Amino acid sequence: MAQNLNHALPPEEHTMLTVSSSRFGEIQANPDKIITMTSPFLGFPESKRFMLIPHGENTPFMWLQSLDDPQLAFVVIPALILVPDYNPALPAQARQELKAGEEDELNILLLLTIPHNNPQKMTANLLGPLMINPEQRLAKQIILDPNKWDPRWPVFTDDGK
């Protein structure tokens, strides 16, 4: 799977979009970097446009900040960093929604849950990954087989690694 999460279409003359965020204050969103959900996250029907914001230097963690709801941001990480062999099959309908052919590379992000004051108990949602077509800047959360994938996969082992 591709991991170029900052891929953009050829540059065009666009005005930066200024968005107010409760977490980051005012942020500038380059229209060429905006990711549009083909269908919203469950429970967040008004949020369809997002941007990725690095958590910091030398960390794989990112924020998926909603441009439609200043209160909404998810902590995400590229799936292959946590689970190198994670490569779930994408249903044909989802591939069609993402305008992705069979050979098109998709990025897979995992949504993380970080318990308050206990980051060692962080979990990753392997059941509902976010698939992104970087060429089209389209994304969709897909729900996989619950008998095969864990929605609360521990990021750290008991020894903290």
Question: What integer is the mean pLDDT of 122-142?
Answer: 97
Residue 30 has pLDDT above 50, yes or no: yes
Residue 10 has pLDDT above 60, yes or no: no
Beta partners for residue 35, in sequence order: 50
Task: Say how many CA atoms lie within 13 Å of 22 toward its Cβ.
Answer: 8
What structural domains does the chain harbor?
Answer: 17-154 (2.30.290.10)
Beta partners for residue 75, in sequence order: 63, 112
Question: What integer is the mean pLDDT of 68-81?
Answer: 95
- Nearest to residue 22, comparing CAs of 56, 69, 75? 69
- Quote the percentage of the chain above a pLDDT of 70: 89
- Quote the percentage of the chain above a pLDDT of 90: 68
**pTM summary value:** 0.85
Q: Kindly indicate the confidence band of residue 1, based on its pLDDT and cuts at 50, 70 and 90.
A: very low
pLDDT digit string (tens) for 135-157?
999 999 999 999 999 999 999 87
The structure tokens listed for 127 are: 């059941």
Residue 5 has pLDDT above 60, yes or no: no
pLDDT for residue 29: 87
